[in-house]
Amino acid sequence: MSDYKAFKVAVLDTVAHVQINRPEKINSMNADFWREITEIFNWADATDGIRAVVLSGAGKHFSSGMDLTVLAGIGSQLGTDPGRNALKLRRKIMGFQESFNAVERCAKPVLAAIHGYCLGGAIDLIAACDLRYSTVDAQFSIKEIDIGMAADVGTLQRMPHLIGDGMLRELAFTGRTFAGEEACSMGLVNRTYADHESLLAGVLKLAREIAAKSPVAIRGTKEMLRYMRDHRIDDGLEYIATWNASMLQSEDLRIAIAAHMSKQRAEFAN
Amino acid sequence: MSDYKAFKVAVLDTVAHVQINRPEKINSMNADFWREITEIFNWADATDGIRAVVLSGAGKHFSSGMDLTVLAGIGSQLGTDPGRNALKLRRKIMGFQESFNAVERCAKPVLAAIHGYCLGGAIDLIAACDLRYSTVDAQFSIKEIDIGMAADVGTLQRMPHLIGDGMLRELAFTGRTFAGEEACSMGLVNRTYADHESLLAGVLKLAREIAAKSPVAIRGTKEMLRYMRDHRIDDGLEYIATWNASMLQSEDLRIAIAAHMSKQRAEFAN
Amino acid sequence: MSDYKAFKVAVLDTVAHVQINRPEKINSMNADFWREITEIFNWADATDGIRAVVLSGAGKHFSSGMDLTVLAGIGSQLGTDPGRNALKLRRKIMGFQESFNAVERCAKPVLAAIHGYCLGGAIDLIAACDLRYSTVDAQFSIKEIDIGMAADVGTLQRMPHLIGDGMLRELAFTGRTFAGEEACSMGLVNRTYADHESLLAGVLKLAREIAAKSPVAIRGTKEMLRYMRDHRIDDGLEYIATWNASMLQSEDLRIAIAAHMSKQRAEFAN
Amino acid sequence: MSDYKAFKVAVLDTVAHVQINRPEKINSMNADFWREITEIFNWADATDGIRAVVLSGAGKHFSSGMDLTVLAGIGSQLGTDPGRNALKLRRKIMGFQESFNAVERCAKPVLAAIHGYCLGGAIDLIAACDLRYSTVDAQFSIKEIDIGMAADVGTLQRMPHLIGDGMLRELAFTGRTFAGEEACSMGLVNRTYADHESLLAGVLKLAREIAAKSPVAIRGTKEMLRYMRDHRIDDGLEYIATWNASMLQSEDLRIAIAAHMSKQRAEFAN
Amino acid sequence: MSDYKAFKVAVLDTVAHVQINRPEKINSMNADFWREITEIFNWADATDGIRAVVLSGAGKHFSSGMDLTVLAGIGSQLGTDPGRNALKLRRKIMGFQESFNAVERCAKPVLAAIHGYCLGGAIDLIAACDLRYSTVDAQFSIKEIDIGMAADVGTLQRMPHLIGDGMLRELAFTGRTFAGEEACSMGLVNRTYADHESLLAGVLKLAREIAAKSPVAIRGTKEMLRYMRDHRIDDGLEYIATWNASMLQSEDLRIAIAAHMSKQRAEFAN
Amino acid sequence: MSDYKAFKVAVLDTVAHVQINRPEKINSMNADFWREITEIFNWADATDGIRAVVLSGAGKHFSSGMDLTVLAGIGSQLGTDPGRNALKLRRKIMGFQESFNAVERCAKPVLAAIHGYCLGGAIDLIAACDLRYSTVDAQFSIKEIDIGMAADVGTLQRMPHLIGDGMLRELAFTGRTFAGEEACSMGLVNRTYADHESLLAGVLKLAREIAAKSPVAIRGTKEMLRYMRDHRIDDGLEYIATWNASMLQSEDLRIAIAAHMSKQRAEFAN
């Protein structure tokens, strides 16, 4: 495992546990964070032995979002021509977006385990994960409105697929804080846990369960669900038919059916 | 009514009750099933006297999904060239998809009444219906993951329109079983009933209620909701304007308004 | 403020309170209504001093929907050629749609405060607003099915973004009435209030809160959420990057961050 | 006919001849132009007696494009906040776009007759017309690149449907001038004429020919071609089927077939 | 080979030659035509031994388009309710469209050889083929405008992919006749031949050449070009990558490369 | 400038001349080629001083396309499970696609200067450039069909935007060779030159001309033309309005207009 400045990465058998590791800064997102998260998820994507990823925060919080010194740094690079400044800013924003796209694109399911603060950019981040679980007392807020900007690294783009449009608008316009239970009832997280410890235990157990499934089937399932966020039903049916045209030739299907018949646990290659 | 091997079809006034009728095989989907379901829903679509359809399972369960002998049969037709095998498999999958597309395309509302097992392919099937109701103790599972494949006849394509993306991913990655109440709270079914008998009675009553509405208005409403699954709001507005340009010239509008004014029940031609 | 026949408009600091004002006709939508609502929301859109809009109904109800004399009037303009009639009807429908598009397009958040009846066209209307709140005993119904037509001014187009497809179909096929609590549990309204008075107080308070945020940030947030109803995630990310390329050069960002640092309340220009 | 400052409009039986009428300013597009062109094409759209429109330029040229004083005027309205300036500019640009959208949206075919200069904004304008014809020596140029901006009122959006992508890029990057013959060979204009007189005579003759066809059939044909610029083939097929569901009930079909059978000229109502 | 009433079908090795065979009626499209063309192209699609299809007309012409008695027959089935008539007409039109969709969907390349008249519905038909060749003196016309209707079985939907938008509008608005050479210069046909005999010989030769290529590669190429008519470039790249993920495992690739290396002619299985 | 194995890169003032530099292998695309082309175009994209790029081939040819040893190398990495092989192949293909996407995404106009062979993958490559010019005797062929595969790195995806669908299908199904003049008449190249020397001189001159324009305006123009390949006209208009909301605040607009007024040559910063 490489050495990371903003993260701690542990591999537990076939599950990678990725921790944001700047607890003294409430895991805020500095330049190291933005660069390393891309590297880590590209690595998880390309490494056959990793079959699921858990993402959490070290210390008392998941993350307080963007480190404001990063914004200040960008501001200091701007010149006097608003046109050229716009080109620079656009490129910068797209760079940040790419970091979270790497999370979404990772072929292995990514489970976020959220406790404490999950603010601003942290909402953008968990929206790019597959599954979200939190403690009952986790604190969520679409904070960007309070620093005078529209969220631009994924919250406004991905959240409409996760929670109802009506509630999302309230949260995005007001920036109000909501806790784990409300997050669960609106569908942002799938389940809440009493505390950080039981949260991590529960999410890691779920990750191991998913990692034991056929990697070919998990890969296809994730790909299809990603695809359907943006495509028509007829396109989706055609795409899965084309995808499964090769995947149904995999030995995993035979192994799974044989195990199913003999009531035994199937073992799949990476 | 034709004789069907895998189904039993009864016409109750203007409502067709379509029952999957292989109770000794837990209503699993064999070759007869896949062929006949297309015929039945094409017939319901084209028959003016049918104004709503109820779909249920005979015996103790709704359906356990794909009959594995069908998969085995396909496997035995494959040769040694992975490319040509892929072309064959793709065509096969698209054939199965067409069977459930016939359910979705049927111009009359289709109400699924679900009890007992509703597994794998059965989830793909109910996702192609308009409305879903179940017993409290019905058992649902996106089972495909456990036979080593990504679901490819509609679940991954249509379910994102029915339940939240976060919970769908959990169910699709784990294949875990969930009961009627959870299905209701996540929006997969609209209401649960205490037992099979009250379920059927309730759903048939609802079907009769829908069948009494203007068929022209029901047809347009179903068409628009189907259309909106895949289109932009501006396209949808233009489409309904074009559609209603002729439908508002129908006598049903006049009949309905007259009945409304005189507080009487409107009677509409088929 | 102009004089309106079907509305009463009050400006409370930076919030416009727009009331449908035909209580003796249950606020039904007559020709004045359809013309004036466009004017009012275009005005709110173009007036910098207005930062949020509250929409409610005067008297005992929000609105009973389309005034049937409007439909009768259209009917009387039709001739004998079904083709030319269709062209006229299509143009008429698109005209009505444009009235509610003006609500949706208004750059300032629009909060609907709903009490009493909210029927037929009134559902189309609230679906074009950003946020919906109601009394516990408000009565909702997708009433169009009962006058023999498919809803054509927005309900079938916008509601799929607000509530689950399954429940929407039940409501659209049956036209059944549902109250505030059920509307809240399905996500149509964000919160219910005990009575009309507390509803209006609550919604106006929320509107003022939103009006105090950076108008540049609110404008961008609303634009993005509108955009995402109809676009892919990658298109949305590119669009917000292009949008924020100029908006992040706004002084609001600096003001907001400075206020945040100094724990003071930010004050933003219109 | 209203009095226009930037245009001269003549009605020749069922054909409207719309002339840009600022020859002393090379028909450049000033504030009057932008406002009046919307009014004129909305009028043509809504007036049953008008069945085709010819658009040309008075004097020696079609048009030299945007009047630079309009740009200067906008510049003078900008303040010091780049964010708020961007919101103002965006609204301005969209206003200009709406003027040419009115040309495109006009339900009657619009034929551009081009002679002399056709520069910058004039290319945006003719791209919104249905048909383009020019003199051999007409001079075309996508001039915007030479005033330091990307064309933003239609050229870059609509030209890809008219000429090949490769040549369009050359013209847009270089702004080089090309004459009628090259415009014809690349498909921008359908035919060239020796001089202004024969051009106008030819285009008016063609317009009268189109105006003699069934207005219902012409309306549907234009609508479909507009629709296909932006939609899939399957969507287009479904849309025309829905459209013709009413239009094939028109008496024009019967009149046309009867005339066809009896080898006589059909006469259609407006 | 089945017996057809409106067609004559011959199999020449791996090429099917499908002839419209109602020369005494200028190969106009009657009820037999619409039913049989679907059967024939479904058969060609499903029959491995057929690798390319040539479509031509028996006698002096390709086809004069829709048989007007078919339209008259539909007219006679209409009742008095314009709404219900519209539902019937819509279904009828979609039925005709399905016949030509079968041509487009056929997995084998379809080459149209056109001589004499190619009018109205015949243009819709050739637009659904892959390749078009004609005699120099073939006569083309988008004739629908002259029977008072917008073309609704494919011309207005598919032609924008074949010829420039500007010329298409002229042809669709005027219905003017154009000959082979103009058809070639606008890209509707790829090449013209001096007479019917040389046309058929040339097209059959080309069909045989295509039939000798790898069927797996031809299938993929046709699928991609069909897909790209309606999809984005990024979607197309993803789709071909998914498609070729299995097809590059085919033995045809190995056979083709080996033949290429040894400068020999490759022989591919069906 | 870095040292490249498969390329030679020269910077001529503000124009980068990128040459494929494996003349002894007919500039076939080996592993070095695929890696370095990404690096080079990312560099050109990010380097302000580069304002246009010319792409050509060293020696007698532009390029013969994919080096077959690359395909062989991939084949040798495949295992026995067709499913896992498919996942590997899909990833590989997408990797190749990314190399040419880097060419398309480069913000500076890319001009291809083509002489000699331009076969297979070389067609995919030039389709990702902005502008194409060739010698009269350049030889083009969509060669993939002859190695038993459907082209999968851009030809089938991007060529439909460059040449007519009918001719493209002929070329893709047959793989026939065509020369510069035919390439020009079908719109694949914009102009032909008598020989390699005049080609390079002409293209470099054009590149310098483009490089002298406002970089802000060129950037926006290229972005819009890329965007319009995949988007609707209304989306395109909204996007350019959002884009120009900042870019019209650039000083380039002022500089260009001032130069225009004073008939002087404008000088723009990078």
Q: What is the pLDDT of residues E57-90, one digit of tens each?
A: 999 999 999 999 999 899 999 999 999 999 999 9
> What is the β-pairing status of strands E139-141 and E117-119?
parallel
Chains that touch A (3 or more CB pairs under 8 A): B, C, D, E, F
Asked if the C-beta of A250 comes within 8 angstroms of chain F's C-beta atoms, the answer is: yes
Q: Tell me the shortest Cα–Cα distance from B83 to chain F, in angstroms.
A: 10
Alpha-carbon distance D232 to E175, whole Å? 24
* CB distance A110 to A103 below 8 Å: yes
Nearest in space to B39 (alpha carbons), one of B9, B81, B75: B9
Of C218, C233, C250, which has the smallest distance from its Cβ to A173's Cβ? Answer: C218
Stronger pLDDT, A155 or E262, i.e. the higher one: A155
Strand ordering across the sheet containing B139-141: B117-119, B139-141, B178-179
Segment among A259-263, B65-69, C26-30 with least mean pLDDT: A259-263
- pLDDT for F168 equals 98
- Counted across chains A and E, CB pairs separated by less than 8 A come out at 14
Of D89, D157, D165, which has the smallest distance from its Cβ to F244's Cβ? Answer: D89
Chains that touch D (3 or more CB pairs under 8 A): A, B, C, E, F
pLDDT band at D260 (very low <50, low <70, confident <90, very high): confident
Nearest residue in chain B measured CA to CA from E46: B91
Under an 8 A CB cutoff, do A246 and F86 touch? yes
Q: Which of D77, D246, D252 to mutate to test the interface with C (most CBs of C within 10 A)?
A: D246
Nearest in space to E74 (alpha carbons), one of D220, D244, B45: D244
Alpha-carbon distance C15 to D101, whole Å? 33
Of A84, A86, A250, which has the smallest distance from its Cβ to F84's Cβ? Answer: A250
DSSP C263: T
- pLDDT for A261 equals 87
Alpha-carbon distance A189 to A201, whole Å? 16
3-state SS, residue D59: coil
Reading the block at residue A231, the tokens are: 């495509």
Model pLDDT for residues C103-129, shown as the tens digit of each residue: 999 999 999 999 999 999 999 999 999
For CA atoms A89, A92, A96, A102, the dihedral sign is: positive
* CB distance B141 to B179 below 8 Å: no
Of C242, C245, C246, which has the smallest distance from its Cβ to F239's Cβ? Answer: C242
Options 3.40.720.10, 3.40.50.720, 3.90.226.10, 3.40.640.10; CATH for E7-211 is 3.90.226.10
Q: Tell me what percent of chain E is helix, strand and coil, each rounded to the nearest 5.
A: 55, 15, 30
Kindly list the residues from chain C whose CB atom is less than 8 angstroms away from the CB atom of residue B260.
146-147
Q: Is C24 exposed, middle or buried (0-12, 13-18, 19+ CB in 10 A)?
A: exposed
Under an 8 A CB cutoff, do F221 and D150 touch? yes
Alpha-carbon distance C252 to A54, whole Å? 37
Q: Is D23 exposed, middle or buried (0-12, 13-18, 19+ CB in 10 A)?
A: middle
Segment among A168-177, E128-137, E205-214, F248-257 with least mean pLDDT: F248-257
3-state SS, residue D80: coil
* CB distance A154 to C239 below 8 Å: no
Asked if the C-beta of B242 comes within 8 angstroms of chain C's C-beta atoms, the answer is: yes
Give the pLDDT mean for B232-261. 95
Model pLDDT for residues A97-125, shown as the tens digit of each residue: 999 999 999 999 999 999 999 999 999 99
Model pLDDT for residues A257-267, shown as the tens digit of each residue: 999 889 899 99
Asked if the C-beta of D242 comes within 8 angstroms of chain B's C-beta atoms, the answer is: yes
> What is the β-pairing status of strands C192-193 and F139-141?
unpaired
Q: Tell me the shortest Cα–Cα distance from C265 to chain A, in angstroms.
A: 10
- Put residue B154 in one of left, alpha, beta given phi > 0 → left and psi -120 to 50 → alpha: left
Reading the block at residue D47, the tokens are: 């007036």
Give the pLDDT mean for A85-101. 97
Q: Tell me the shortest Cα–Cα distance from D81 to chain E, in angstroms.
A: 37
Q: State the Cα angle at B101 between B100 and B106, rounded to 5°.
A: 105
What's the first-to-final CA gap in chain D, in angstroms? 19
- Counted across chains A and D, CB pairs separated by less than 8 A come out at 4
Q: Is E146 exposed, middle or buried (0-12, 13-18, 19+ CB in 10 A)?
A: buried
- pLDDT for A238 equals 97
Nearest in space to F110 (alpha carbons), one of F211, F23, F238, F192: F211
Alpha-carbon distance E210 to A161, whole Å? 46
Mean pLDDT of chain E: 96
pLDDT band at E1 (very low <50, low <70, confident <90, very high): low
Model pLDDT for residues E190-212, shown as the tens digit of each residue: 999 999 999 999 999 999 999 99
Nearest in space to E153 (alpha carbons), one of E178, E128, E170, E181: E128
Q: Tell me the shortest Cα–Cα distance from C97 to chain B, in angstroms.
A: 7
Residue spans per domain, chain C: 7-211, 215-261
> What is the β-pairing status of strands A110-114 and A15-20?
unpaired
Kindly list the residues from chain B whose CB atom is less than 8 angstroms away from the CB atom of residue E269.
81, 84
Asked if the C-beta of F93 comes within 8 angstroms of chain E's C-beta atoms, the answer is: yes
pLDDT band at A1 (very low <50, low <70, confident <90, very high): low
Under an 8 A CB cutoff, do F250 and A84 touch? yes
- pLDDT for D261 equals 87
Kindly list the residues from chain B whose CB atom is less than 8 angstroms away from the CB atom of residue E152.
none
- pLDDT for F234 equals 97
- pLDDT for B143 equals 96
Query: Per-residue DSSP letters for chain B?
Result: ----SSEEEEEETTEEEEEE--GGGTT-B-HHHHHHHHHHHHHHHH-TT--EEEEEESTT-SB--B-HHHHHHHHHT--S-HHHHHHHHHHHHHHHHHHHHHHHH-SS-EEEEE-SEEETHHHHHHHTSSEEEEETT-EEE-GGGGGTS---SSHHHHGGGTS-HHHHHHHHHH---EEHHHHHHTTSSSEEESSHHHHHHHHHHHHHHHHTS-HHHHHHHHHHHHHHTTS-HHHHHHHHHHHHHHHTTSHHHHHHHHHHHTT-------
Under an 8 A CB cutoff, do A85 and D82 touch? yes
- pLDDT for C2 equals 63
Give the pLDDT mean for C183-193. 97
Reading the block at residue A131, the tokens are: 């599954």
Q: Tell me the shortest Cα–Cα distance from A83 to chain D, in angstroms.
A: 10
Model pLDDT for residues F17-63, shown as the tens digit of each residue: 999 999 999 999 999 999 999 999 999 999 999 999 999 999 999 99
Give the pLDDT mean for B93-122. 98
Model pLDDT for residues F187-226, shown as the tens digit of each residue: 999 999 999 999 999 999 999 999 999 999 999 999 999 9
- Counted across chains D and F, CB pairs separated by less than 8 A come out at 148
> Which amino acid appears at position E143 of this protein?
K
In this prediction the pTM is 0.96
* CB distance C163 to C188 below 8 Å: yes
> What is the β-pairing status of strands D117-119 and D110-114?
unpaired
Element (H, E) at E119: strand E117-119
**Distances in whole angstroms, Cα of residue C141 to Cα of each of A187, C122, C125, C172:** 25, 9, 13, 8
Q: Tell me the shortest Cα–Cα distance from A96 to chain B, in angstroms.
A: 23
Under an 8 A CB cutoff, do A245 and E246 touch? yes
Under an 8 A CB cutoff, do E214 and F145 touch? yes
Q: Tell me the shortest Cα–Cα distance from E232 to chain A, in angstroms.
A: 11
Q: How crowded is residue D13: how many other Cβ atoms within 10 Å of its Cβ?
A: 12
- What is the CATH topology of the domain spanning C215-261? Lyase 2-enoyl-coa Hydratase; Chain  A, domain 2 (1.10.12)
F215-261 and F7-211 share a CATH fold: no
Under an 8 A CB cutoff, do F147 and E253 touch? yes
Nearest residue in chain D measured CA to CA from B247: D246
Chains that touch E (3 or more CB pairs under 8 A): A, B, C, D, F
Under an 8 A CB cutoff, do C84 and D246 touch? no
DSSP E10: E
Alpha-carbon distance C115 to C136, whole Å? 8
- pLDDT for B2 equals 64
Q: State the Cα angle at D127 between D123 and D130, rounded to 5°.
A: 140
pLDDT band at B260 (very low <50, low <70, confident <90, very high): confident
Model pLDDT for residues C37-64, shown as the tens digit of each residue: 999 999 999 999 999 999 999 999 999 9
Q: How crowded is residue F201: how many other Cβ atoms within 10 Å of its Cβ?
A: 12
Asked if the C-beta of F68 comes within 8 angstroms of chain E's C-beta atoms, the answer is: yes
Alpha-carbon distance C137 to E229, whole Å? 52
Residue B1 has pLDDT above 60, yes or no: no
Of F161, F237, F248, which has the smallest distance from its Cβ to D149's Cβ? Answer: F248
Alpha-carbon distance E89 to D75, whole Å? 55
Asked if the C-beta of C245 comes within 8 angstroms of chain F's C-beta atoms, the answer is: yes
Q: Number of helices and strands (H, E) in chain A?
A: 11, 9
Under an 8 A CB cutoff, do A246 and B86 touch? yes
* CB distance A51 to A211 below 8 Å: yes
- pLDDT for D2 equals 63
- Put residue F93 in one of left, alpha, beta given phi > 0 → left and psi -120 to 50 → alpha: alpha
Query: Per-residue DSSP letters for C127-142?
Result: HTSSEEEEETT-EEE-
* CB distance B149 to A260 below 8 Å: no
Q: State the Cα angle at B89 between B85 and B94, rounded to 5°.
A: 150
Alpha-carbon distance D213 to D206, whole Å? 11
Q: Which residues pair with F55 in a beta bridge?
A: F18, F112
Residue E2 has pLDDT above 80, yes or no: no
CA atoms within 13 A on the CB side of F162: 27
3-state SS, residue A179: strand
Give the pLDDT mean for E18-43. 98
- pLDDT for C11 equals 97
ipTM confidence score: 0.96
Instruction: Find where tokens 């998913």 sit.
Output: A210
pLDDT band at D76 (very low <50, low <70, confident <90, very high): very high
**Percent of residues, chain D, with pLDDT higher than 70:** 99
Residue F2 has pLDDT above 80, yes or no: no
Q: Number of helices and strands (H, E) in chain C?
A: 11, 9
Kindly report the backbone phi and psi dihedral angles of residue E32, in degrees, each rounded to the nearest multiple of 5, phi listed first: -60, -45
- pLDDT for A59 equals 98
* CB distance E260 to E254 below 8 Å: no
- pLDDT for F1 equals 54
Of D83, D216, D249, which has the smallest distance from its Cβ to C249's Cβ? Answer: D83
Model pLDDT for residues A13-67, shown as the tens digit of each residue: 999 999 999 999 999 999 999 999 999 999 999 999 999 999 999 999 999 999 9
Instruction: Find where tokens 């590297």 sit.
Output: A39
Task: Calculate the CA C35 to chain-centre distance.
Answer: 16
